[in-house]
Amino acid sequence: MSAVRRVAVIAAPPVSMFNLAIPEMLFAKVEVDGGPGYETVICTTDPGPVTTSGALDLHIPHGLDAVDAADTVILAGTGQYTDPDPRILDVLRRAAADGKRIASICTGAFALAAAGLLDGRRATTYWAYSGLLAERHPAVDLQDDVLFVQDGPLLTSSGYAAGIDLCLHIIRTDHGAAVANQVARLALVAPVRPGGQAQFTHTPLPPERGVSFTDTRAWAMAHLDEPLTLTDLARHAGVSVRTLSRRFHAETGVSPLQWLLHQRVERARELLETTSLPMDQVARACGLGTADSLRQHVLRRTGLTPSAYRASFSRLAGTASPAVAS
């Protein structure tokens, strides 16, 4: 049986209710070996009534001592981001010293930066506050136009739905792509959005109204085992290759071929977890061609060879084992 991972979500008033709901909802849907994959506790500086950034207040019974028992600490966004509570900064520093994984959603990055945890590290926040974060904390290597970024044990995300992408990334890291994709399906959200995908701040939709490549992306997902080209995608969408490239990037924040490669690797990960197919068959089934190509892309994405990845994340009875060096 897999050990339950403990997550402490810190609510700094006035806290974003949406930010708090994301980890609570997604981690609660994780089931591993017939049991829960996570135990999530929401905590705050002063247990009891906690103000939010909306019209409702919350009652949070747990104090910051909940962080001591956690493997992962997530700081939700707050309206009081420019002057974080010193007690939160202290608990974040202790958590970092203990080697815990620490993440933030939206303006939660300001507290991580104020605690000195982001100095010299890549980080992001909601695009509307990125200039202020850069001004107040110049030692942070700010990535101001991505959904989320991980630098070692520190993870930061942009605002709103990017918190969903961050939590799915954590689930994918802990339990593999198959579990993360199942959670995404249960939550009715897109299972795979690369962390480097743009926040859409500088990529508005093109003048053509009401036209989306959603159907073309769905078609491509159903044909990943085929050698798809830009011409194939453009033909399905009924546009020129040039128009496809321009509008696809405007809609998704990545090029068509970057998106396609990402989906192929994610499909490979899921096949490695859920089947016993030989490596060359996995490579063909996801469109990566050869076992050597599969190895190259899986190693680049996960840090593990395909065989080591399968050993770590296989959902087949009796096949999973601790990761081995690759």
* Strand 101-105 relative to strand 154-157, pairing: parallel
Q: Which helix (H) or strand (E) holds 299?
A: helix 291-302
Query: 60 - beta bridge partners?
Result: 48
Residues, the chain: 326
Q: What token pair was written down for 290? A: 């050869």
Would you write out the chain's pLDDT as a tens digit for each of its 326 residues?
458 999 999 999 999 999 999 999 999 999 988 899 999 999 999 999 999 998 889 999 999 999 999 999 999 999 999 999 999 999 999 999 999 999 999 999 999 999 999 999 999 999 899 999 999 999 999 998 788 999 999 999 998 889 999 999 999 999 988 899 889 888 877 665 655 444 443 333 333 434 578 899 999 999 999 999 999 999 999 999 999 999 998 888 789 999 999 999 989 999 998 899 999 999 999 999 999 999 999 999 888 899 998 988 887 765 444 333 33
Q: What is the pTM of this model?
A: 0.74
Q: Which helix (H) or strand (E) holds 306?
A: helix 306-313
Query: 73 - beta bridge partners?
Result: 8, 102
* DSSP class per residue in 57-70: -EEE-B-GGGGGG-
